[in-house]
Structure 1
Amino acid sequence: MTILRGGTRTLKSSPEQTMDASVGQPSSRPLWIMGIPLALYVVMLVGKGGDYSVLVDFVLAELAGLATVVVCWTAVRRADYVRREVTLAAAAVTCNFLGDVSFTISTRFLGGPGSPSVADLFYLAFYGLILASLFVTARRQLRRVPWAAFLNSAVGSVSVAAFMAVLLNPVLVSASAEPVSLETLVNLAYPMLDLLLIAAIAGVAALYGRHAGRAWVSLIGGLVVYAGADVAYALLDGGYSLGTLLDASWAIGLALIAVWVDRASYPVVAAPREPNGVMAFVVPAIATAAGLGILVYATQNHISALAIGLASVTLALAVIPMISRERGLNHLSRTDDLTGLPNRRAMYSDVAARLASDRKQGSALLLLDLDRFKEVNDSLGHDAGDRLLVQVGVRLARELGPLDLLARLGGDEFAILVARNRDGEASALADRLRAALAVPFTLEGISLQTSVSIGIALYPSHGRDLGALMRKADTAMYVAKSTGSGFHVYQSDDDRHSEVRLRTLQELREALVQDQLTLHYQPRIDLDTSEIHAAEARIRWNHPVRGLLHPSEFVDLVEDAGLVRALSEALLVQALDQAAAWRDRGLDLGVAIRLPQAALIDAGLPEHLGAMIANRALPPFVLTLEISEEFLLADQSRARAVLNRLRGQGVRMSIDDFGTGYSSLALLRDLAIDELRLDESFIVAMGHDERSSTLVNSAIALAHSLGLRMVAEGVDSDEAYEALVRFGCDSAQGSLLCVPLPATEFDAWLTARLVAEQTRE
């Protein structure tokens, strides 16, 4: 909030605002007051030649100086609150004006100023006041200046000071060679203060760089012109004479300082920024070159100890940002950008040393992989997935000891090196880690529960280097994932399973290309009419070596192979083409199919599926998608959105393996479901377990009460079939009726059944 005359208003600043940003537009009237007499003085000074003129060198010169004083104190009076840097700068300009008046009067009218003189007191006061003004400004900004920017400023300042010490070497050597007196000290003070002033200018320039505003450019330019005139004065061989063009340099420098004072009296809002990448390297590089150049020059020429000392300090300061950047780059190269944990590079770098020092105690390497993490990215977006990984890293770290090493290897994989492992400790830690991650996470307002599979390899029994341990832990982790055990300690037999898995992954990719994956169809019989209205499509793999493989032998590898989308597309094409072929033959048969769970969260599935059905001129209800209870329970809001969009395309929905999960009445009530598929485990038990019969009867009644159809799976006996008819079940499928058959054999079976029915009639 910025306070202004007449009220208050909020000042919003963008990152591009600079130090001269202010509320409203500063008035240009004070600058005209100063600019007109200054311009007149400079023009008259150039035109008059070398002779002294009272009108030009006294009247106009002091009038221009007085105008700068008026502008400065007008700015001080204008400010709504005391700004010490503005007041100090105004006082500095005033002291210089008084020094000029005193020097001119004593030189032209009183026979000489003497040494030291009253003018010297005013001039020296100017240096002190203007440096104090810069110090006050810097002190206010230092708390907002990044360390790198401050260091760049210091390096630039000292390097310029070293260069100026070399440039002013004759003056410094001459002054220091004279006997110590007040006059000598005053003569030595001027070059030293000029050196300090130029160093301060360099520091400000390095601090703000290209982000300095116009007001700061005015200040820097004014001080450079003023100090340059001082240096030229100090190096003049023929001595200084009043009324030359050198006098205009001081006048112009002071006018530029007055411009800064005028602009600085307005409220400012911006601060120095972190130096950009170029400045971060350019300033130390130039400073280092300057320092080295001065020291080399000192080996061939006599220069002051001050110049040598400043050059040495420059080199020392210039090394600091280089070391700091090197350490920063090394840290970044070993740190995971997302979680802040050590990355794979750090893991491989640190573990070798740890293992070498831990041969007797023994260690354990745990490799962790989040289960179904891809579903989070696909359904909630990668931002949500990233936040989940960060939270997972925090939870894992809480369970570890101070000597344990946790790293993120990439994706959803983490690794933990457990120091000083004893029997069973790694397994106990794996249990704790799984329990910690089982607590639901909250992402995008959704409570999400995840699980993790952990592979464990022991050092030194399973390997004596990280590479061997990683391979064994990776093998054990996939055993844990495939068996659903949660974690697994590596065993020698696991290698055989790992080889089979890798070979199967490659063969699965080839199977899709070579059309080895096909659908077998099992009829679904209407228990009321004994007619067949639909068939369930079940995937099979015609493996060229291993023969016909069932889904349990390869479907779990589909996601690992990155084939979910390709497999789903192939299954839908086959199923819908078969439904179209049946319809062309006059058979009104629907087809039910179960897609991989990850395919159901594909945002483009509903519309794509609707287009596939429409392209074959099929009614939408010809297709039924079977969905697991696990998918529904994982995220009900997401499941509801998916089901609603699919239903919007006319596709029917069925809950598969009903009764094996944890379905609730609210779930059945709220979701867009058409039918339930009762798991075969209940049907098989009906013949010898009265309670199973009761549960089946109750489930059928529940489905009907909710307006849903009930389909019974695994019907393999006449007793079960008759019981289902008696309970009012809608449809059934199983080996009693027909086993799953390839499309051609299913068609033959269907034809034979129709012929038999016609014969009976």
Structure 2
Amino acid sequence: MVEEHRARRRARTRQMTDRSLRWVRIAAALLGITYVASVVALALGATGPLAVLAGSGKLLFLAGVAVLLASRAVVRTADRAAWLCFAGAVASYLAGSLLHEVLYADRAAVPRPSWADLGWMGLYPLAYAGLFLLLRARIRRLTSSMWLDGVVSGLTAAAVGSALALGALLRAADGPAGAVVTAAAYPVADLLLLVLIGGALTVIGRGAGGVWWWVAGGMVLFVVTDTVYAFQVVHETFVPGGVLDVGWGLAFACFGLAACQRPRAGGTSRLEGLGALAVPVVCALTALLLLFAGYLDDDDDPLAGFLALVAVLAALARTALTFRDVRALADSRRQARTDDLTGLPNRRHVFEALAAADVELARGGSTAVLVIDLDRFKEINDSLGHDVGDALLRQVAPRLVAQLRDGDLLARLGGDEFVVLTAGLDETAALALAERLCAALQRPFRLSGMALSVDASIGIALGPQHSRSAEELLQMADLAMYCAKAGRRGAAVYDEARDGSGRHRIEAVEQLRAAIGGGQLVLHHQPKLTLATGRVEGVEALVRWQHPTRGLLCPDAFIELAESAGLMSALTRAVVDLALAQRRAWADAGRELTVAVNVSPSDLVDERFPDEVAELLAHHGVPAPALTLEVTESLLMEDRERAVRVLARLRASGIGVAIDDYGTGYSSLAYLAALPVTELKLDRTFVGALTGSPRSAAIVTSTLQLAHALDLTLVAEGAEDQGTVDALAALGCDVVQGYHLSRPLPADRLTEWMADRETAADLVG
């Protein structure tokens, strides 16, 4: 909801900006028409009202551009300072033009410097500031490479401009000191403008956006027009109202068009690595051409030559910086693929090599994978210290490398485990290599003044014999290595009949992990009959796995897998969630039942488990007494203190706790008295033999009396016939559960079963 609100707000802001920019564009079009009309009127020597347009049209146009830029500052608050600087620059130029029209329009010769020069020169520092602020909005941090790119391109642009005309203008400046300074100030300011424009565009890179290209185009056009004007003034060929007026107008029109552009989103897009050398190389070649042209020309321009020389030096510095960055990147990549301790390739490198081996296998080649694990390495670490263990690993690496061919890869997977990837070996050759590796490790190592021999277990997998996937070969070699270690065989080749179950077990674990989070778990419910009322008042939820290929699986097929893979906690939470959701559905349909769920060992030692169950109860709106968690006696004995703490918190919240399979584990009256439980579930072994074994009958009777004495409910599991149910009722048992009542059923079928039972009971009554 928050994201939708933000998106709508951004959309409204975009619409408002678009509407504002639309009016700015209309104003820019009107200004352009006004300026063109004034230039045409001036060129035609118009009289009357048109003469007024010719004289004041350009001033009105400049005023309009200044207002336009200021309006952009109001519309686009993010770049407000930059656009205000641009507006101030145009306003300063307007002031100079206005002073020229008022003070010097009727004079044959204009003094230098003049008050008009003060306004015209004011454009430059404000334009510089606007460019800088606009650049800062796009580039938050200027790196050394960005600075050098900007310097190289800017100096090259200035050198080209100086070679073409600006240098000649500086040399042609003559007369009083004030006139010379004024004449020199314009080309110098134009040169600096070229430097800033070239540098800024280079720093921003590709995709600068319409704003930048219109601003840059307008400034370049302004510099070119200014340069041609100065050249014509020096040679006394300037004619007012000519093409130059159009050039200045187009330059300011570009500024106005820049104000009409939508700001470009996102950052810069610059070339990286060796591609970043494109800018300095092109600029350096251009500067070298200028230097060479100056060498051939007797009337060379010293300013252009100086700028070109500095540009070349800056380009060389940028190139050196790029090579340093490339070298640092290569070193960083090497370190990322190298094990710090041994200097061997690491796990990342191994998987890159496995990908390359896949290509070779696809072409019909062969690959052998050998996984090497040092025997008793943990004992070495524990008895001699980790420093000695690390020193051993450093000496192991060169021993193993010495037994390999050029092109074979030895890498450290982690700990004391290494892997060899090699090509062109059959099973016999791979076993021979494994024997050589083991023999090399058995030669004594000198560590801390002692001689230490090391044995190793090596697993071998061959492709394409065992698999055409190199990564799968690594898994197979790992399984074979464990077989070699268990049998102290030194080396073992993967055998599908012997090791395949381990590989399939890995696949099954991943499938079960996906099933827990992917909605493949379903619940069947077995009813629990309350003998005092003759009604089903509770159920036990039993999980099933709806496997996509193997069909419906009972818990025996995957519970042990979940426990060994550390998935039992996630499985329990998923079952509790499903059970409470179904209980909520029954409650909504008017059927109030208690639901029992089995709890795993990992849950009883997890201090967070009570909070998670409470969250699930609150989520489904189920009262705590409607849930019973079943635990086994053996489970309670694993970590009794922590289990008691967890159970106490569950009971404190109102959740029921039952001891499942009572009588078959470590039955103890001491812990039974201390445990916060509400139910005993007597094991089916005793219940099933109740009617045929006096001993079993005595056990059931005594257990029932014990439960009632402790104020506990006794649930008898395994009631397989009516005689057993009647005997339990006669003894005063509380609840029975078994196949005589019903097998575990899906929720919809159990609902039908309960409805049919209630209907039959009503008919009998």
Contact 1:367 1:455 in 2 (8 A): no
Tell me the equivalent position of 1:492. 443
Out of 144-153 and 424-433, give the one that drifted further. 424-433
Aligned position for 1:92: 89
Which one-letter code corresponds to 2:118 in the other structure? L
**In the alignment, is residue 201 of structure 1 matched against residue 197 of structure 2?**
yes
Could you tell me how far apart the structure 2 residues matched to 1:626 and 1:78 are? 65
Superposition map of 1:205-354 within 5 A: 205-236=201-232, 237=235, 239-260=237-258, 272-277=267-272, 280-301=276-297, 302-336=299-333, 341-344=335-338
* 1:667-726 alpha-carbon deviations (Å, 9 max, x no partner): 9x99999x99xxxxxxxxxxxxxxxxxxxxx996459988599xxxxxxxxxxxxxxxxx
Aligned length: 499
User: Quick check: 2:157–2:198 contact (8 Å CA) kept in 1?
Assistant: yes
Q: Write out per-residue CA displacement over residues 467-492 of structure 1, whole angstroms, 9 at most, x where no aligned residue.
A: 999969899945999xxxxx999422
Change in CA separation of 1:158 and 1:22 when aligned onto 2, cut-off 3 Å: farther
Q: Deviations over 1:231-268 (max 9, x none)?
A: 2223335521111121121122223324546779xxx7
User: Any conservation in 1 of the 2:113–2:178 contact (CA below 8 Å)?
Assistant: yes
CA distance in 1, matches of 2:265, 2:40: 40
Paired residue for 2:525? none
One-letter amino acid of the counterpart of residue 279, structure 2? V
Distance 1:643 1:596 in 2: 25
Q: Secondary structure at the match of 2:149?
A: helix
Alignment match, 2:29: 35
**Residues 1:45 and 2:39 are matched in the alignment:** yes
Q: State how far apart, in whole Å, the 1-side matches of 2:305 and 2:36 are.
A: 39
Q: Secondary structure at the match of 1:85?
A: helix
Change in CA separation of 1:623 and 1:211 when aligned onto 2, cut-off 3 Å: same
Q: Deviations over 1:414-437 (max 9, x none)?
A: 99xxxxxxx999962268889xxx
Inter-CA distance 149–217: structure 2 relative to 1 (3 Å threshold): same
Q: Map 1:743-754; keep pairs closer than 5 Å.
A: none
Measured in 1, the distance between the counterparts of 2:510 and 2:176 equals 88
Which of 123, 126, 131 in structure 1 is aligned with 2:123?
126
Residue in 2 that maps onto 1:62: 59
1:632 equivalent among 553, 561, 564: 564
Cα distance change of structure 1 residues 626 and 21 upon mapping to structure 2, 3 Å threshold: closer
Aligned CA distance change for structure 1 residues 639 and 73 (closer, same or farther; 3 Å): closer
1:181 aligns with: 177
Give the distance between the partners of 2:76 and 2:108, measured in 1 at CA: 42
Q: How much has 1:190 moved relative to structure 2? A: 1.2
Matched, 1:429 2:386: yes
The answer to whether the 8 A contact 1:643-1:672 is kept is: no
Partner residue in 1 for 2:152: 155
Cα deviation for residue 315 of structure 1 reads: 2.2
When residues 249 and 510 of structure 1 are mapped into structure 2, their CA distance, relative to the original with a 3 A threshold, is closer
Match of 1:603 in 2: 511
SS of match in other structure, 2:332:
coil
Q: Retained in 1: the 8 A contact 2:215–2:255?
A: yes
Offset of 1:182 from its aligned partner? 1.1
Counterpart of 2:568 in structure 1: which amino acid? Answer: Q
Q: Distance in 2 between matches of 1:132 and 1:512?
A: 67
1:25 alignment partner, SS class: helix
Q: Which amino acid aligns with 2:247?
A: S
Q: CA deviation at 1:296?
A: 1.8
Distance verdict in 2 for CA 1:11–1:135, change over 3 Å = farther
Q: What is the rounded CA distance, in whole Å, between the counterparts of 2:372 and 2:189 in structure 1?
A: 62
For residues 602 and 78 of structure 2, the distance between their equivalents in structure 1, rounded to whole angstroms, comes to: 69
Structure 2 residue ranges without an equivalent (≥5)? 1-5, 352-368, 375-379, 421-437, 446-452, 469-479, 521-544, 577-599, 606-627, 636-661, 668-679, 686-765
Listed one character per residue, the Cα deviations across residues 19-73 of structure 1 (whole Å, up to 9, x for unaligned) are x998563254455445335324425635875657644541333332333344345
- TM-score normalized by structure 1? 0.50
Higher helix share: 2
Among 16, 20, 25, the residue aligned to 1:26: 20
- C-alpha separation in 2, matches of 1:472 and 1:251: 69
| Matches of 1:597 and 1:231, distance apart in 2 | 81
> Alpha-carbon deviations, 1:320-377, whole Å to 9, x = none?
443333333333333359xxx5423x97xxxxxxxxxxxxxxxx8497999xx99xxx
Q: Secondary structure at the match of 1:134?
A: helix
Alpha-carbon shift at residue 187 of structure 1 (Å):
1.0
Alpha-carbon shift at residue 596 of structure 1 (Å): 6.2
Identity of aligned residues (%): 15
Are the structure 2 counterparts of residues 224 and 155 from structure 1 closer, same or farther at C-alpha, using a change threshold of 3 Å? same
Contact in 2 for aligned 1:52/1:242 (Cα 8 Å): no
Asked if the contact 2:337/2:345 (under 8 Å) is kept, the reply is no
DSSP-derived class of the 1:110 partner = coil
Contact 2:156–2:286 at 8 Å: present in 1 too? yes
Q: CA deviation at 1:81?
A: 10
Pick from 392, 395, 405: which aligns with 1:457?
395
Deviation readout 1:580-628 (Å, 9 max, x if unpaired): xxxxxxxxxxxxxx876534413179899967767xxxx9789967958
Aligned AA (1:120) = D
Q: Distance in 1 between matches of 2:149 and 2:416?
A: 50
CA-CA distance at 1:202 after TM superposition: 1.7
Question: SS of the counterpart of 2:61?
Answer: helix
Distance change (3 Å), C-alpha of 1:320 and 1:670: farther
**Once the 2 structures are TM-superposed, how far is the Cα of residue 292 of structure 1 from its aligned partner?**
1.8
Superposed displacement of residue 229, structure 1? 0.9
Structure 1 range deviating more: 101-110 or 599-608: 599-608
Tell me how far apart the structure 1 counterparts of residues 458 and 137 of structure 2 sit (CA, whole Å).
65
User: Normalized against structure 2, the TM-score is what?
Assistant: 0.50
Whether contact under 8 Å (1:367, 1:473) holds in the other structure is yes
The answer as to whether partners of 2:484 and 2:491 remain within 8 angstroms in 1 is no
Q: Secondary structure at the match of 1:168?
A: helix
Say which SS state the counterpart of residue 395 (structure 2) adopts. strand
Code of the aligned partner of 2:511: A
Query: Matched residue of 2:511: which SS?
Result: coil
Find the counterpart in structure 2 of residue 720 from structure 1. Answer: none
Query: In structure 1, what is the Cα distance between the partners aligned to 2:116 and 2:455?
Result: 92
CA distance in 2, matches of 1:142, 1:105: 43
Give the superposition deviation at 1:162: 1.6
Tell me, in whole angstroms, the C-alpha distance in 2 between the residues paired with 1:11 and 1:160: 43
In 2: Cα distance, 1:216 partner to 1:36 partner: 22
Cα deviation 1:141-171 (Å, max 9, x = unaligned):
6544455444433332222112112112552
Question: SS state of the match for residue 243, structure 1?
Answer: coil
Contact 1:159 1:314 in 2 (8 A): yes
Higher relative contact order (CA closer than 8 Å, sequence separation 6+): 1
**Tell me, what secondary structure is at the counterpart of 2:304?**
helix
* 1:167 equivalent in alignment to 2:105: no
- Partners of 1:104 and 1:665 in 2: CA distance: 91
Q: Could you say which residue in structure 2 is the equivalent of 1:546?
A: none
What displacement does 1:281 show? Answer: 4.2
